[in-house]
Structure formats: C-alpha cells, structure tokens
Structure 1
Amino acid sequence: MNKRREQLESLKRKLAAITGAGDAQPADVSRAAPQPVTQPWDRIRASHSALAQQLDQLASSPDFGDVDRARIAHIIARAGHEPAELDRLAEAVLQEQGAALVHPSQQRNLPGPRFAVHNLVAGQVRLGEVIPDHRSDYEVAGDFGLDLDVLRTSLLVIGPPGSGKTRGIAIPVVEHLSLAALTGKASMVVVDPKSTDFAYDGWFDVTIDPLNPTCGFSLFGGSRTADVAADRLASALLPPRVTDDKAYFIDASKNALYACLEPFLAAYERWPTVPELLGLLRADQAAVDGVKSRLKGAGAKDLKALLDTRGRQMQRTADPAASLVERFALLDRPSLRRLFDHPGPTFQMRDLNRPVRVRVSLPEAEYPDASRILARLVVSQFVQITSSSEADRSIFKGLVIDEAGRFVDDYVARGVQKLRSNNAGLVLLTQTMADFPPDVRATVFGSTGCKAVFGGIDPTDADIFSRWFGDQYVTETTINRSATSGVRYDQYGSVGGRSESHTAGYSARRVERARWTVSDIITGVPSGHALMSLARSNGARVGPVLVNLRG
C-alpha cells in the first residue's frame, strides 16, 4: 500500500510539473499561521521601495485587475536585463496608476464574462478536470490546464464534428492568448474558417476580412528578399498535393515569381500590387517596359534579362507557370485587391514581434479558392517569421488554426520543429489526420509535442493514438480447475456410489496491454472529454490524461 501511495504521489508531482498545477492541499485553519501575501514586485522591494509601495497601494484598489498585475509583473521580470525599464515603470505608475504602460489597445481586460479560469501571472489557463483512470498517468482528480511553455511544443487536436474541439480547447486557449497579449507576454494569429467561431468583440486588434477590409494584409509581409517571397507565395498559390513528376512545374512557378519580383523591388523599392504583379507574370509589354525604364546603374542589365526569362517561359509550347498565373488571378477581385493593396494600415507578419492579436476571417462561401490561398499564405508566413533569427524570443507567438488539415503543407510541417526554440507554437485543430496531405501526416504528428483526441474518431486515427499512448503492464490471472473421481464405500464395505473432488489452481503473470485500445478511444471517451498528453520545451512529458472539459 505504501508503494502504491508513493507511485500516486510521484505521478501527481509529474503532472504538476507539466501543467503548472500546484500540490494544493486543504489547510488546517486551526494550526496554520497566516501567510504574508506575496506580490510579483517583492523582488524589487529592497532596490525600489517607493515603487513597490505604490504598487502595494494599487493592488488594494478594485480597479486593479489580474491583467494589470500580470502586465506589471512581466515588465519587472524583463527589467532584470534593462534596469531603465523600472524607472520608466515608476514614472508611468505615478502618472497613469493602474493603466501604467497599458497595451496599445488601451484595454485592461476583455469585455464580457470569461470562458475559462486564467492565472495570468503564471501564464496558465484551466481547461477542465482530470478524471482518475488506471490507464492514465494521473489517477487523482484535480484541475488540468496549459501554460505558454507547453504551447511552445505545439498542440494537435483531433475530434469529429460537434465533439467540443472549439469550445473545450480552442476558445479557452485563444482567450488566454488574448489576455496574455494585454500583459505583453504574447502575440497571436487565429485562422477562422467559419468567420464566426472566434468573432468576439475586444479579443483582437486586427481582423483580416476580405469582405470588410478595414485593415490590409501584405502578400509579402514575412519576406525581405525576393527569393524568399517567391517561395512562400508559390507554396500558398499552388496545391499541396503534387507528385514528383509535377515538381518541375513547382520550381518553374517559383522561378517565374522571382523573375518578376526581384526587378520590380529594385526598380520601385517596394513590393508590387496584385495587378502589377499579374501584369509581369503575364509578360504584359507595358508592365515590363515600365519596370525596365526605372532600372539604372550596376546590375540593371542582369535584372532586365531576368524579366525577359518570364517572356521566354511563356513562349514554350506549355507554359510551366501557367497554373500559378491563373491561381494568382483568383486574387484579382475588387474586394481582395482592397485587402492586399489596402491604402490604410496593413498588417505584416513581422508585427508579431510585439503583443498584437490578429484574426483571419475566411469568406469561404464567397471566395473558396482565394480563402484557401489566403489561409495558406498566413500560415506559411507565420512559420517563416517565427522560425527566423529575427524573431523576438521574449514574447510567445501563437497560431491557432481551425480545420488545419487544409492549410498545412510540407514547409509548415517541417517548420513546427523550429518554433519552440523561438518561443512560438501552433494549435492545429482538425477532424481527422486524413485531412492533412499524406506526405506530411507523420511529420505533423511527430513534431507536435502535445496531443488531444476526442471520442468517436476514425479507427485509423484511434490506432495511431493508441500506439502513441503506449502499453502498460497488467496482471493476468489464470484459474485452472481439475476434478478427481473415485468409488465410495458404505459401512459394510459395499460400493455405495462414486465421489468427485474439485481442486483449483491460480497463476498470475505480468503482460503488456495497450493503455487505451482503439475501442477505448472510439467508444470509451465520454462526450465533452478528451484524452490529452502534454510536453514541455525541456522534453518533460505526461500523458495520456482523461480530462472533463466541461468540469
């Protein structure tokens, strides 16, 4: 019994290390001494006593919320590397009180009631309650949640329609990232294919909506050079499922884009608009002559020759970049031009290096093909920016993608592995692994550190998760019964009948069995529950854990 208790305590500490949950136990009120209230600014109490006292007074004000506390705690934590930040904070507190160094949106909280419970100082969000189960790593009931370090390893969520992926996991995570952005800790992009799942007032600073383009979106927002821009734009425009014999056309399309972008960038020192780039891709003589006339100095000859290569491509019997040109023409619509060539403020993916909140609303009913191109462009730009050396590692950068299988290609799948070192992560939600292209399924599954699976999934997916969750040893008991018959004699020595005696033998052995069988996952996970396994950026893991997301 003592050994079993030690195992349970060990598992409890293991999950606490992953989820950030503490070993909270009921306190003995009659004996416990009153504990002093700790504040995030206690560490500066000796060196900046006046500032600490001001913050103590603010903390007692009803106007001082958890977002304010977490924002100031984050500023103080960062000030360890930049002491001048504390002086700036002290001046701001003196002038603005609880609104000191507030987020650019001027928000100090989200409007309306919250969907989940958050610990913003620790960066944690509660998802639900652990259901004790002998097949899990955690057999004690308690709170279950995620934190920003767990999200760094990326999260894959698989569940059929109506299972609760959005309400149980995606919305609490998005709400937490929105609050974390108000504290200065995070930035996020949310891809909303239905346009309504995440459309909450006050949750976002920027909404990319082709039907109502109040803010523009840069086709080249994640690129500083023409070759990188050409690769990313071509990957977004062309379909992800391309056989090896068609790879030639992919390369030709990237070369065509580069041959148009590099001379234009040198001539105008900016990226082209949709009509300008389309004119160059179609080798329109007026468009080509306009660029050539502005090319001067050293290198002009080579750039003009580069423009001519696109014309030679088109003169072939079959233009290898014709498919790319026609797909790019899908973006040449009045409302889409207003989005990509917006005259006002324009969002560029490198803006994620500051605490900004972005929602991408996809008008799939009106522009199905253009919506997929936009989504794939957003996803590839995110991976490009967050995996580059220019990424700001002091801020967490999150991308939440609903129906992710349609928007993830090989570049994105391979890029997931690079994100955690730059303090970034993906949350991929989809109905089945079959939604992902066949050549990226294994990469997506293997590179995401955290997994969540709902009941009722496809048997093929259930088999993948069953093998991922592994085996466990169980005790198998075998009962062997035997009967022995004989002759029974009476008191006079005569045969009085026959008698039988029965014996039973017991044997036990340790055998390996799947923790969660395919049948367990499909039919044994209740509605509103999910099996979740988590990982930290340092490699620590726990799972599977059965979580009641409605608890």
Structure 2
Amino acid sequence: MDTEGTFDSRGTHRNPPPLPTPPVAGPPSYPHQAPPPQPPAPPQPSAPPQPQNVPAARPGTRPSLIDWLRTSRPEAAPGVWTYGHKPKPPEDPDRIPTRGLLTGALIALVLTWLLWSLLTADRGYLGTYWQLPLKLAQSEGWVDRIHDASDPVLRWYKGLWFLIIAAVFSRVGHWGEVWRRYVVPLFRRTWDDPGSSPSPAPTNPQADPAQWPELRAAGAHSAADRLAEEVRAGRMGDVDHARIQRAWQVVRAGRDSLAAFTDTVLRHGAAAHAHPSGARDLPARTAEHDLVAHQVRIGTAADDLRNPYQHRGVGLALDPDVLGTSLLAVGPAGAGKTGRLVRPVVEALCLQALARQVAVVAVGTAGSGLGADEAFDVVVKIGRPDSAYDFDLYGGTNDPDEAAGVLAEALIGDMAASLPGGDSRRAGTALAQLLGPYRAAHGRFPSVPELRELLDGSKAAVSALREALDAAGQSAQARELDARVRQAGTPGDVGALLADRIALLDRPVFAEFFNTTGDRRPFSLRALEHPLRVRIDLPERGHVEASRMLARLVLAQFTECAVGRADRSLFACLVLDDASHTITPEALRGIQRLRSANAGVVLTLRTLDDVPDALRSALLGAVGCRMAYAGVTTWDGARFAEVWGTAWVEARDVTDRQIIAEAPFTKVMHFIRKVVTGKAVTIQSVTVRKVERERWSASELAHAVPAGHAVLSVTSVRGESGPPVLVDLRA
C-alpha cells in the first residue's frame, strides 16, 4: 500500500533506474510546517517556520497550514491565481476615472468650506437672506438671538444649513463614490488582515478542509482524526497534504482499498504514502505555490488599458490544466525566460511530483539554473564524468522500427525538408535495416561507435554482423542487412548523412555515455509512468550540434513515450529550456497528440527564426499557451498578433472645429484668448464607434512591452481560452 503499486515493474523498459534519496542540506523549507519528526522520539508540535527564498511573501505574513487550507479558491478564468482571488464586480462604463473623482471631491470640499465660511462670517459677506426663516420663526427678540453665538437654536439652525450645503456639494463631488471605492476597502483589508486577528475556525467539521471532510464522509473517521491532529500540531506541510489527497483519489478510483489507506495513515501520519525518494519537500523554493489548485504564480496582470478589465491587477499562474495544452515562450536572451518562467514551472512540477501527481523532465545546459541536484531523483549530465546516470539512446524500446524512427528524427529531423521525400522516413528505414539485425544477433542495440561503423559501410563490421545472423539462424534479419548493403552508396541514400550526424556523438567526451551493454544505469523516458523528477544537462559549449541533436532526441522520445503510457493518471511534462532547432514536422505532430495523453511541453526560444519558416505558424497553432517577452522583434510580433487575432473595441474620434465669432465683444474675447493661449477658440465633437482591431499589434509587442513584462495567453485542456494579457513578471 505504501507505494500503491505505482512503482511495480510493468515490463515496459529494461533496467529501470532506481530512485535515490536526495540529501537535503539543513532543514527543508516547508511552507507551513516544522521539519518532520525523527522516530522513535514522539512528534513535538512546533510553530511552522517562514518560507525561504519566496520573493512574494513578506516576513510574518504567510498563513499557517490551517489558514492556507481554509482560504477560498473561487472559480476563475484559465491562468488566474485562485488563492484568495476575489472576482471584480462588473465593469461600469460610466465609472469616473480616479484622478477626476479625487479632484472633484477635493474641489467640492473646498467649496463647501468656503461657502460655509462666507455665510457664517460676522461681516455677512453674503447678506442675511439665509437667516430669513429664523427671523420669521422668532417674532420677538430675534435680533438679540441672531447675534448670540451661544444660543442653541442658532447653533442648530447653522448646523442645518451646513448639512444642506454639504449634501449639495457631496452629490456634485461624488463623495459617496469616494467612500465606496477607497474607504470601505481600506476598512475591509484592515479587518481581514491575518496579522491583526486570527481566522475563526469553521464550526462544521464537514465544511472545514483542515478536518478532512471527504474522509469522514466515506467513514474513515480514524484516519481523518489522525491527519487533523497532524495539521494542528504543525507536522504536515502542503506537499504532505497534496500527496495524501492524491492517495485518497486512488482509493476513490477503486485502485486501492480504504482499509489499506487507513492503516497506512494511522501508522505514518503526515508521512504516509511517501514519495519513493523519501523527500517531503524541495531543499528551497523560489516561487509562490498553491498545491491545492496545483498552481505556481508567475506574475501579476498589469493595470493597463490593453488588458481586459477582469484581469487588471490579478495574479496569473500556470498549472497542469493549461500546461497540458503546451506552452511556447519567445524572448531575447536576458528577458527572464529561465528565471521567471522555466525555473518556477520546474519547481512547481517537482513539488507535484513529490505529491505523486506529476512526472517532470527538465532539459537545459549545465548551470542553466533549473534547480539543485538534490531537487531531482535522476540527474543525467551528458558529457560529464560525475554523472550518476547514462541516457538511453533508443528510448528503452525493444522495437527496432520504433527506435529507428525516433533516432532518425533526432539525427536529421532538422534537415527533413531537404531530404528526398521531404521527411525522415527513409532515414528511419535505413536505421531499422541495421538496428533490427544487430539486436537479433546480439540481444541489444549497437553502441554509438558500432552504429557509426555500420552506417559507414565498414566491411569488417558488416561481415561480422552477417556471420552472427547466420549463426543465430536469423535469415529474415540477414535479408534486411543485405538490403542496406545494396542501398549504400546509391544516389539518394541517407546512410552517409546519418554516419556524419552520428559521428557528432562519437566523441571522446561522450565515450562513457549511450552505453548499451548494461554496465551503467541508463535513464529511459519509459519511466514516465512514475512520479519522477528528472533533469538532463546537455553538453556545454563546443558541442552545439550534439546538444541540438540530443534535445530533438529527448523531445521525440518524450512525445512517443507519453502517448504510449498504459497509465496516464500522472501528468507528464517536458520542459525544454532552449528549443532552438528542435522543432520539426514530426515534433509538431507529436506535440499535438500530447493534450489527449495528459501531457505537455514547455518550450522557450530566443526568436522564431530558430524554427523553419514553414513551421512557425504551425508551432504557434499547435500550442495552447503563448508568451511573448519584452524585446521580441517586429517579425516575431507579427506572428503572435496573427494568432491572437482581433477584437471589437470602441474607437473615439475627436474633431476640433474653430468657432467664428460674430458679436464685437465675443471677437475681442476670442482675440484675447488666442493671444494668451496661442490657439484659436475651438469646440470639440466626439464620435464613438465599434471597430475591429488587433488585440496586440506587432509594433506594440516589439516596442510597447516594458522590461520584465510579457504578454501571455493560455488555453485549458477543457478548451477554455483566455485573452492575451500583459503580465508583470517581477510582481
């Protein structure tokens, strides 16, 4: 029960990599809990420490786990940060702008004071007409009472006049709107401040998420009581809560029993159903996460007129629901793609992997900042001798045709348009004519040097392979080999090209990698059925072409393995920090299949010029989430503007018409005004009409997006789409 059978062998790959327990230096940065207790000492309640390295959180403001669970998460548009989200009221088209409202209120206040001062002055600047009602009411001695400042009747009378004046000017200055817009929200924020008063606990346990109502409704009261005690004692974190919720979903789906679930919870408490690595959190966090909604916050929608009203000032986030449609981010170097998008997304997916909800593979160059080694279960450092894992060049498959197709895509997928037939299928056939016979003869696929010799047509290598096939009685595979030998050197043969490309991996720096003899632990993407956290470091400078080939290989293997999973309950995501020269026609077809397989990819590019021209529009159409960073070129902006389309907006045309005076006095006044202002006296006419315009034009994307910002649009796997929104990634 402790592993729910998730990690049992399915026979889908050879020699699956073990999951090491990553060392954690110092206490883990649980956002809502103290470090887990060490047996056999009894657990001691402790105050939850403040989160580390979370820029959005101020010291002392992060809520406890109980308050975090009880915070509302209303339904919102895709990509909206739902934690504590408060939907805006409907937009008022007659809403007075802030500057005009405050200026009018201040002027009305000054006029109220001025008129009241003039009325009540001893000299009577405005006469005594305002005292007439009082004179009529006082038939005797009214003169003395008028001049007696201490008379209560006079004070009440003056107060009545003050209220009349204030009422008139309050309507003129819209004081009520100022009160509703600024004063009332201030009081609400003060009242709702968690630092000023504790949040009241719900009286109904069936409505309190900290009391695990779903377990109680199913009759698992003992398990609910144990978990509620763990929450109150501060021994449970957000990852623990999400992980146990995942285990409960497995029970509800009928893949596990309620009795086994309850027994595990009673024995282990908050540590129940642990991830195989034993980790219950990451060593450090750099972003703001909400594991209840599976979201990571990446920024705040700017209060800009180009943003829709409902999105202005609202937090924006990403989650598997939108990443399942795949995401493409384009921006120049230094725009913040890695630090403000890739790193938070990888961090969020790693947290959800610890909660046994996600399998994530992050690919980047060494030192790109995708996370520390301790934050991953498997770290493949291609070309470095300190790598604990090798990479399976053939994707863990036993099918020669499948292995050949994926490998051909990696080797020459970027050149498919220039090949005979316009694709890499002939290259896949050529590779299959070698991989099939070799596996039949030796029980494994060839290593990189062996494959290079066969592609070069080495007579010694081919003869040795034919002899091994004859000895094994593999006549059908021998015919495949003979067909390859006959095609070698003929016009249109791709063997020589494949040999040249595989030679890029047959270098001394890669001598210890891509081993097929079983001497090292190869990582295969067939392991995507497990909640793995994987980081693949591509070769450093000096091996650019090899890095691009390996990136294409990982992308091709991921799309093949993610779609071919028997169990798709885990969300699988590939994060490719630099997707330059990896997008091919076959890769696009694979990306389009991921949405229905509960999988997605995150791709970043410096420019769309790194994608073949014929595939740029297709790439933007294949992904559901698109992101244009500050500094994109006008050419790239034109592609985004085209895919984002147009919208109906109100256009205001203002026309100035000069006023021709007829009367002599009016002519004199107009002449004086023209001398003072330097402009003729005009009158404005305003025409409002509905027009269809681009949501974001190419020029706006290239020149009007501030530094540290990006324009983001998202689409959920359910088909809900959001408009392109200007996001402040620093907020």
TM-score (norm 1): 0.87
2:391 is the alignment partner of 1:211: no
- Report the Cα offset of residue 34 of structure 1: 4.5
> How do residues 458-473 of structure 1 correspond to structure 2 at under 5 angstroms?
458-469=633-644, 470-473=646-649
**CA distance 1:249–1:18, shift in 2 (3 Å):** closer
User: Do structure 1's residue 348 and structure 2's residue 409 form an aligned pair?
Assistant: no
**What CA distance in whole angstroms lies between the structure 2 residues aligned with 1:89 and 1:231?**
43
Check if 1:372 corresponds to 2:548: yes
2:303 to 132, 135, 138: 132
Aligned to 1:73: 245
Q: Is 2:704 the counterpart of 1:533?
A: no
Partner in structure 1 of residue 328 of structure 2: 156
Q: Deviations over 1:203-223 (max 9, x none)?
A: 211122121332011111153
Of residues 69, 82, 86, the one that matches 1:21 is: 82
Could you list the per-position Cα deviations for residues 460-503 of structure 1 after superposition, in whole angstroms to 9, with x for gaps in the alignment? 111222333323312323325255576979xxxxxxxxxx9977
Distance 1:532 1:296 in 2: 60
**Structure 1 residues 306, 57: closer, same or farther in 2, change over 3 A?**
same
Aligned to 1:280: 454
Partner residue in 1 for 2:539: 363
Provide Cα deviations, 1:136-172, integer angstroms capped at 9, x if missing partner.
Answer: 2334322211111111011111111111111111111
CA RMSD in angstroms, aligned pairs only: 3.0
**Residues 503 and 321 (structure 1), Cα distance of their counterparts in 2 relative to 1, 3 Å cut:** closer
* Higher share of residues assigned strand: 1
Count of residues in Structure 1 that have an aligned counterpart in Structure 2: 528
**Residue 438 (structure 1) aligned with residue 613 (structure 2):** yes
How far does residue 68 in structure 1 lie from its aligned partner after superposition? Answer: 0.8
The answer to whether residue 274 in structure 2 is matched with residue 102 in structure 1 is yes
What are the within-5 Å matches in structure 2 for residues 239-388 of structure 1? 240-244=414-418, 246-247=420-421, 250-295=424-469, 300-314=474-488, 316=490, 320-341=494-515, 343-388=519-564
Please tell me whether the aligned partners of residues 78 and 721 of structure 2 are also in contact (alpha carbons under 8 angstroms): no
**Counterpart in 1 of 2:156?**
none
Identity of aligned pairs, percent?
A: 35
Give the letter for the 2:279 counterpart. Answer: Q
* Aligned with residue 146 of structure 1, among 309, 318, 336: 318
Q: Is the 8 A contact 1:264 1:291 kept in 2?
A: yes
CA contact (8 A) 1:111 1:201 kept: no
2:625 corresponds to which of 426, 432, 450: 450
| Inter-CA distance 441–40: structure 2 relative to 1 (3 Å threshold) | farther
Q: What SS does the corresponding residue of 2:627 show, helix, strand or coil?
A: strand
SS state at 1:278 partner: helix
Q: Are the structure 2 counterparts of residues 527 and 266 from structure 1 closer, same or farther at C-alpha, using a change threshold of 3 Å?
A: same
Match for 1:306: what amino acid?
E
More displaced stretch, 468-477 vs 310-319: 310-319
User: Residue by residue, what CA displacement relative to the aligned partner does 1:23-51 show, whole Å, maximum 9, x if unpaired?
Assistant: 64558669x97425314842121421111
Give structure 1 stretches of 5+ with no counterpart. Answer: 1-11, 490-499
Farther off after superposition, 202-211 or 244-253: 244-253
1:189 aligns with 2:356: no
Question: d(CA) in 2 for partners of 1:478 and 1:225?
Answer: 70
Q: Could you say which residue in structure 2 is the equivalent of 1:403?
A: 578
Residue 724 of structure 2 is matched in structure 1 by 544
Counterparts in 2 of 1:321 and 1:60: CA distance versus 1, 3 Å: same
**Distance across 2 between alignment mates of 1:245 and 1:66:** 52
Residue type at the aligned position of 2:695 = R
Distance 1:255 1:84, change over 3 A: closer
Change beyond 3 A, Cα 1:315–1:440: closer
Counterpart of 2:414, as a letter, is: P
- C-alpha distance in 2 between matches for 1:13 and 1:435: 40
User: SS of the residue aligned with 1:109?
Assistant: coil
Q: For residues 55 and 284 of structure 1, do their structure 2 counterparts lie closer, same or farther at Cα, with a shift above 3 Å needed?
A: same
Per-residue Cα deviation, 1:244-268 (whole angstroms, up to 9, x for no partner): 5644794543222111111222233
1:249–1:320 CA contact under 8 A, matched in 2: no
Are residues 1:517 and 2:701 paired? no
State which of 386, 408, 411 in structure 2 corresponds to 1:237. 411
Question: How far is the alpha carbon of 1:320 from its aligned partner?
Answer: 3.5
Contact 2:298/2:317 (<8 A) preserved: yes
Please tell me the residue identity of whatever aligns with 2:713: S
Deviations 1:337-369 (A, max 9, x none): 322106222111111111111111112314333
Q: Secondary structure at the match of 1:513?
A: strand
Q: Given the superposition, is the C-alpha separation of residues 272 and 92 from structure 1 closer, same or farther in structure 2, using an over 3 Å criterion?
A: farther
Q: Deviations over 1:491-517 (max 9, x none)?
A: xxxxxxxxx997765433222333323
**Does the CA-based 8 Å contact 2:637-2:702 persist in structure 1?**
yes
Question: Given the superposition, is the C-alpha separation of residues 346 and 194 from structure 1 closer, same or farther in structure 2, using an over 3 Å criterion?
Answer: closer
Distance in 2, Cα, partners of 1:115 & 1:189: 19
Q: In structure 1, what is the Cα distance between the partners aligned to 2:664 and 2:294?
A: 80
CA displacement, residues 282-339 of structure 1 (integer Å, 9 cap, x when unaligned) = 3444444444445479982221111112222235478541010122122223442322
Specify which of 199, 208, 214 is matched with residue 43 of structure 1: 214
Compute the displacement of 1:73 (Å).
Answer: 0.6
> 1 or 2 for the larger relative contact order (CA 8 Å, sep ≥6)?
1
CA deviation profile, 1:50-84 (whole Å, cap 9, x unmatched): 11111112222333211111100111012112263
Whole-Å separation in 2 of the counterparts to 1:334 and 1:541: 49
Change (3 A) 1:297 1:513: same
When structure 1 is superposed on structure 2, of 399-408 and 19-28 the one drifting more is 19-28
TM value normalised by structure 2: 0.67
Question: Counterpart of 1:60 in 2: which secondary structure?
Answer: helix
User: What code does the residue aligned with 2:511 have?
Assistant: R
Q: Which residue of 1 aligns with 2:291?
A: 120
The unaligned stretches of length 5 or more in structure 2 are 1-72, 87-187, 666-679
Moved more, 508-517 or 321-330: 508-517
Q: Structure 1 counterpart of 2:434, which letter?
A: C
Identify which range, 332-341 or 418-427, moves more after superposition. Answer: 332-341
Looking at structure 2, the residues matched to 383 and 475 of structure 1 have their Cα atoms a distance apart, in angstroms, of 46
The whole-number CA distance in structure 2 between the counterparts of 1:44 and 1:280 is: 61
Distance 1:75 1:507 in 2: 61
The one-letter code of the counterpart of 1:441 is: R
- Alignment partner, residue 62 of structure 1: 234
Aligned partners of 2:698, 2:569: CA distance in 1, in Å? 41
| 1:481–1:347 distance in 2 versus 1, CA, 3 Å | same
Instruction: Return the letter of the residue paired with 2:263.
Output: E
Separation in 1, partners of 2:534, 2:229: 35
Q: How many angstroms apart in 2 are the aligned matches of 1:184 and 1:502?
A: 70
1:488–1:294: structure 2 CA closer, same or farther, 3 Å change rule? closer
Query: 1:248 and 1:423, CA in 2 relative to 1: closer, same or farther beyond 3 A?
Result: closer
CA distance in structure 2 between the aligned counterparts of 1:221 and 1:519, rounded to whole angstroms: 44
Once the two structures are superposed, what CA deviation does each residue of 1:75-126 show, in whole Å capped at 9, x if it has no partner?
Answer: 10121122634433333333333322211221111113x1111111321111
> Which residue is equivalent to 1:4?
none
Amino acid at match of 1:74: R
What amino acid is aligned across from residue 439 of structure 2 in structure 1?
Answer: L
Is 1:421 the counterpart of 2:596? The answer is: yes
